[in-house]
Structure 1
Amino acid sequence: MSRLNTPAVNDVPAGARQILDKVGAQLGFVPNMFKTIASNPSALEAVTTLQATMSRVLDAKTRHSIALAVSQANDCSYCLAIHTYTSSTFGGMSSEDIDLARAGSSVDPKRAAAARFAQQVVDSNGQVSDADLAAVRGAGYTDSEILAIVTVAVQALLTNFINNVNQTDIDIPALDSSATPG
């Protein structure tokens, strides 16, 4: 059961309601995470603005792969469920590629390097090695794209932390924990 207050729709300030309406229009439903964050309209605006901004960097499958890799590294069941849903429904990713992304890999070698690097960022608290940087550069990423990978990873960390603190009730199909890769 969620541990933080999730306000009733009528108790959400108008500006936050507009954001929730937009999220609902994009996804077809308003996930519990966003309903909970709506109790703090500034936090809701920060999360959704960051997500909208980062949707313009890297390709969608790479962003999804990073989010899945980071969410797996942080053991965030809610984020794994929502990222699996969005990766398959909107990102066109196969079940195989979703499972590989959770393990920090991909069917695409360049995308695998991004997912692996994002996991290294998380696992090392940002203290990646020269070898980690060389590997992601060797896969073809520029320094500008490496900054994008880090920012997408931090975006995933933000929602991982919110959902892990809250223990957000999963309102989308839960993953089979026995299928966890790695």
Structure 2
Amino acid sequence: MSRLSTPSPEDTPEASEPILDSISAQLGFVPNMFATLASNPTVLDVVMTLQGTLSRVLDAKTRHTIALAVSQANDCDYCLAMHTYVSSELGGMSRDDIDLARAGSSIDPKRAAVARFAQQVVASRGQVSDADLAAVRGAGYSDPQILAIVTVAVQVLLTNFINNVNQTDIDIPAVSPAGTPG
């Protein structure tokens, strides 16, 4: 059961309503995380603005790979379910690639390097080694792209932390530890 309060539709702050409407139009429903964030319109706006802005920094499959790798590293069940759903239903990723991303890899060698690097960023709290940087550079990523990878990883950390604190009720198909539908 979620530990933070979620406003009822009639108690949702007016400033949150257009953002929730946009989320509903995009996904067909308002996920519990966003319904909870709606209690603080500024926080909801920050999360949505950050996600929207970062949708321009790397291709979608790379962003999904980072989200899955980071969410797995943080044991965020809600984010794993959400990112699995979005990656498969909207992002065109196969079940195998989703499972590999969670494990810090990918069917694509370049995205595999991103997944490993993102998990290392999380595990080391950003204190990555020269070898970690060399590996992601060796996969073909420039320093500006590495900045984008770190920024996407931190954005995912933000939502992981929110959902782990809240223990957000999963309202999308859950995934098992092995990455198969729960």
Query: Shorter-chain-normalised TM-score: which range?
Result: over 0.9
| 1:42 aligned partner | 42
Distance in 1 of aligned mates of 2:153 and 2:112: 14
| 2:60 aligned partner | 60
| 2:70 aligned partner | 70
Deviations along 1:150-180, whole A, 9 cap, x unmatched? 0100010000000000000000011123x25
Give the letter for the 1:2 counterpart.
S
Distance in 2 of aligned mates of 1:20 and 1:11: 13
| 1:167 aligned partner | 167
Percent pairwise identity: 76
TM-score by length of 1: 0.97
List 4+ stretches of structure 1 deviating above 3 A: none
| 2:84 aligned partner | 84
Unpaired runs of 5+ residues, structure 1, are: none
Q: The residue matched to 1:56 in structure 2 has which SS?
A: coil
| 1:14 aligned partner | 14
| 2:28 aligned partner | 28
| 1:153 aligned partner | 153
C-alpha RMSD of matched pairs (Å): 1.0
Distance in 1 of aligned mates of 2:109 and 2:179: 21
TM-score by length of 2: 0.97
Distance in 2 of aligned mates of 1:162 and 1:52: 18
Aligned pairs (5 A) from 1:121-132: 121-132=121-132
Distance in 1 of aligned mates of 2:6 and 2:125: 30
